[in-house]
Structure 1
Amino acid sequence: MDDLFAPSDVSWTPVSPKLAAVRRVNAAIIFGVLAIVALIALGMSLGWTYGVLGLLVVAGGFAWAWVLIGRNQRSWKYAEREDELLVSHGIMFRQLVVVPYGRMQFVDVAAGPLERAFGIATVELHTATPATDAKIPGLHPDEASRLRDRLSALGQAQAWGL
């Protein structure tokens, strides 16, 4: 079954561990706001004991998210073949997206403020069919730029044959 999601004839490139750090900061912000809301809302309406219990539940959710984020980051990888790009990710729900270079319409590179602060970017591949669109988060900006240029050139070269 592993051969289905990770062909052995390619050399896989993992994404940066900084992706987990960015997602953990996002989770900390979200769970921090939830913790404040739970403490105040439950504390004022039901009593401070329930507010503290709500805070503990939110803290448990953050701890669980911390673990899942790390596992998810380690599952992201990509490989460049002669005619296609492979992107694989997921632990429980695994996914392998194969994008033929000739089907690519355009390639985006995106980085939000938090991603820029951590020095990573996301490469997004767009095709005519949304089902074969793919993204590779957590790339070093130099690698994202190289991949964008390479994929654009290969896509344009192979599109002429269609």
Structure 2
Amino acid sequence: MDTGTTGETDRPEWVGLPGGLLTLRRLLLVIWGGVLAVATGVVLGLLAGPAWAAFAGCWLVVLAWGWVLLGRNWRSWRYAERADDLLISRGVLWREETVVPYGRMQLVEVTSGPLERRFGLASVQLHTAAAATDAKIPGLVPAEAQRLRDRLTELGEARSAGL
């Protein structure tokens, strides 16, 4: 007798990104928004008069809008390890889901730039034979990034051994 539960076990177990990436991106937004607001206010104040310097407030509107968009974008990033492939999902308006079969992976690397290191973050970059299927998972805790790299490398070697 079919209980209809087979679909329940096939669902991937999604993992979201830690909050450090959102903090880093919002900090950069505030820094750049503040610099642009001050520069615009000073330049317009000196060249066109104090009334025109108020247009620097437009950058504050952009900053508030960017704050919300960054939060929505961060929540859209997630990944799931399945039996034969890795799923990476992202995007708010245009949803993009990448499926990377373990047997097609040629290189899995962990990268971390200076700002990422300062915030305790790392990214996992997946390279395949087809450049269109290369994928990246940003903003992971370094221990999770290394665990994921080791697991994906191990699964990739096991799956490609039969080719």
Task: Please give the TM-score of this superposition, normalised by the length of structure 1.
Answer: 0.90
Aligned-pair CA distance for 1:140: 1.1
Matched, 1:113 2:114: yes
Distance in 1 of aligned mates of 2:129 and 2:69 = 32
Aligned-pair CA distance for 1:44: 1.7
Could you tell me which of 35, 43, 49 is aligned with 2:37? Answer: 35
2:81 corresponds to which residue? 80
TM-superposition CA deviations, 1:59-88 (whole Å, max 9, x none): 110010011111111111100011100000
Q: Is the 8 A contact 1:27 1:62 kept in 2?
A: yes
2:130 corresponds to which residue? 129
Structure 1 residues without counterparts, runs of 5 or longer: 1-7
Larger gyration radius, structure 1 or structure 2 = 2
1:4 corresponds to which residue? none
Matched, 1:17 2:22: no
Q: May I ask how many residue pairs the two structures share in their alignment? A: 154
Distance in 2 of aligned mates of 1:95 and 1:44 = 46
Q: Is the 8 A contact 1:17 1:74 kept in 2?
A: no
Structure 2 residues without counterparts, runs of 5 or longer: 1-9
Task: Please give the TM-score of this superposition, normalised by the length of structure 2.
Answer: 0.89
Q: Is the 8 A contact 1:110 1:123 kept in 2?
A: yes
Letter in 2 for 1:124: Q
Secondary structure at the counterpart of residue 18 of structure 2: coil
Secondary structure at the counterpart of residue 98 of structure 2: strand
Letter in 2 for 1:34: L
TM-superposition CA deviations, 1:11-46 (whole Å, max 9, x none): 101110111101111112221221122112222221
Identity of aligned residues (%): 51
Secondary structure at the counterpart of residue 10 of structure 1: coil
Segment drifting more, 43-52 vs 101-110: 43-52
The CA RMSD over aligned residues, in Å, is 1.3
Runs of 4+ displaced beyond 6 Å: none
